[in-house]
Chain A
Amino acid sequence: MRNALVAEYRKLVTTRMWWVLLLACAAYLGFIGAVLGFSLVFAPEQQGGVTLHGIDAATAVYSLTNGIGYVFPLVIGSLAMTTEFRHQTITQSLLVEPRRGVYLGAKLLATVPVGLLYGLVAVTAVVAASAPLLAGWGDGAYLTDGGVLQVLALSVVVIAVWAVVGVAFGSVVTNQVAAIVVILAFTQLVEPIARVALGSFAGLDQVAKFLPGAAADGIVGASFFSSYGSGAGELLPRWAALLVLLGYAAALALIGRYTTLRRDVG
Chain B
Amino acid sequence: MTQPGPALAVEGLAKSFGPVRAVDDLTFAVRPGAVTGFLGPNGAGKTTTLRMLLGLTRPTAGRTLVGDRPYGEHALPARVVGAALEASSFHPGRTGLAHLEVFAPQVGVSRRRCRDLIDFVGLGGAAHRRVGGYSTGMRQRLALATALLGDPPAIVLDEPANGLDPEGIVWLRRLLRAFADEGRTVLVSSHVLAEVQHTVDDVVIIAAGRLVHASSLADLAGLAAPETYVESPDLPAVERLCAEHAWDVRPGERGLLVLAPSAEVGAAAYRSGVELHQLASRGADLEDVFLRLTGGVRS
Give me the interface of A with B, judged by CB distance under 8 Å: 3-4, 6-7, 10-11, 14-17, 83, 87-89, 91-99, 264-266
Asked if B108 is at the interface of the complex by the 8 Å CB criterion, the answer is: yes
The answer to whether A87 touches B105 (Cβ under 8 A) is no
Of chain A, the residue at the smallest CB distance from B97 is A14
Asked if B83 is at the interface of the complex by the 8 Å CB criterion, the answer is: yes
Specify which of A14, A88, A98 is in contact with B77 (CB 8 Å cutoff).
A98
The answer to whether A94 touches B78 (Cβ under 8 A) is no
The answer to whether A96 touches B101 (Cβ under 8 A) is no
Shortest distance between the CB of B257 and any CB in chain A (Å): 45
The answer to whether A15 touches B54 (Cβ under 8 A) is no
Q: Cβ of B215: which chain A residues have Cβ within 8 Å of it? A: none
The answer to whether A95 touches B91 (Cβ under 8 A) is no
Given A15-B93, A87-B90, the answer on whether A10 and B101 have CB atoms closer than 8 Å is yes
The answer to whether B89 touches A89 (Cβ under 8 A) is yes
Asked if B174 is at the interface of the complex by the 8 Å CB criterion, the answer is: no
Asked if B103 is at the interface of the complex by the 8 Å CB criterion, the answer is: yes
The answer to whether B72 touches A98 (Cβ under 8 A) is yes
The answer to whether B105 touches A6 (Cβ under 8 A) is yes
Asked if B232 is at the interface of the complex by the 8 Å CB criterion, the answer is: no
Sorted nearest first, the 4 A-B pairs with minimum C-beta distance are: A88-B89, A98-B72, A96-B106, A3-B105
Q: Cβ of A96: which chain B residues have Cβ within 8 Å of it? A: 77-78, 103, 106-107
Shortest distance between the CB of A88 and any CB in chain B (Å): 3
Asked if B38 is at the interface of the complex by the 8 Å CB criterion, the answer is: no
Given A4-B106, A92-B103, the answer on whether A14 and B98 have CB atoms closer than 8 Å is yes
Q: Cβ of B56: which chain A residues have Cβ within 8 Å of it? A: 91, 94-95, 264-266
Q: Cβ of A94: which chain B residues have Cβ within 8 Å of it? A: 55-56
Specify which of A7, A83, A92, A99 is in contact with B72 (CB 8 Å cutoff).
A99
The answer to whether A10 touches B102 (Cβ under 8 A) is yes
Q: Cβ of B104: which chain A residues have Cβ within 8 Å of it? A: 7
Interface residues of B in 43-82 (CB under 8 A from A): 51, 54-58, 71-72, 77-78
Q: Cβ of B92: which chain A residues have Cβ within 8 Å of it? A: 87
Give me the interface of B with A, judged by CB distance under 8 Å: 51, 54-58, 71-72, 77-78, 83, 85, 87-95, 98-99, 101-108, 146
Of chain B, the residue at the smallest CB distance from A10 is B102
Q: Cβ of B91: which chain A residues have Cβ within 8 Å of it? A: 11, 14-15, 83, 87, 89
Shortest distance between the CB of A191 and any CB in chain B (Å): 31
Shortest distance between the CB of B59 and any CB in chain A (Å): 10
Cα-based distance from A93 to B55 in the complex (angstroms):
12
Which of A14, A88, A93, A99 has the most C-beta atoms of chain B within 10 angstroms of its own C-beta?
A14
Cα-based distance from A5 to B57 in the complex (angstroms):
24
Given A98-B55, A265-B56, the answer on whether A17 and B105 have CB atoms closer than 8 Å is no
Given A14-B94, A87-B89, the answer on whether A95 and B105 have CB atoms closer than 8 Å is no
Q: Cβ of B72: which chain A residues have Cβ within 8 Å of it? A: 98-99
Of chain A, the residue at the smallest CB distance from B108 is A3
The answer to whether B105 touches A7 (Cβ under 8 A) is yes
A-B contact pairs, 25 of them (CB 8 A): A4-B105, A7-B102, A7-B103, A14-B94, A14-B95, A14-B98, A16-B93, A87-B90, A87-B91, A87-B92, A88-B87, A88-B89, A89-B89, A89-B90, A91-B56, A91-B88, A91-B89, A92-B89, A92-B103, A96-B77, A98-B72, A98-B77, A264-B58, A265-B57, A266-B56
Cα-based distance from A141 to B111 in the complex (angstroms):
47
Shortest distance between the CB of B80 and any CB in chain A (Å): 11
Cα-based distance from A99 to B77 in the complex (angstroms):
11
The answer to whether A92 touches B146 (Cβ under 8 A) is yes
The answer to whether A95 touches B54 (Cβ under 8 A) is yes
The answer to whether B106 touches A97 (Cβ under 8 A) is yes
The answer to whether A7 touches B106 (Cβ under 8 A) is yes
Of chain B, the residue at the smallest CB distance from A17 is B93
Cα-based distance from A144 to B31 in the complex (angstroms):
71
Shortest distance between the CB of B132 and any CB in chain A (Å): 10
Q: Cβ of A95: which chain B residues have Cβ within 8 Å of it? A: 54, 56, 77-78, 83
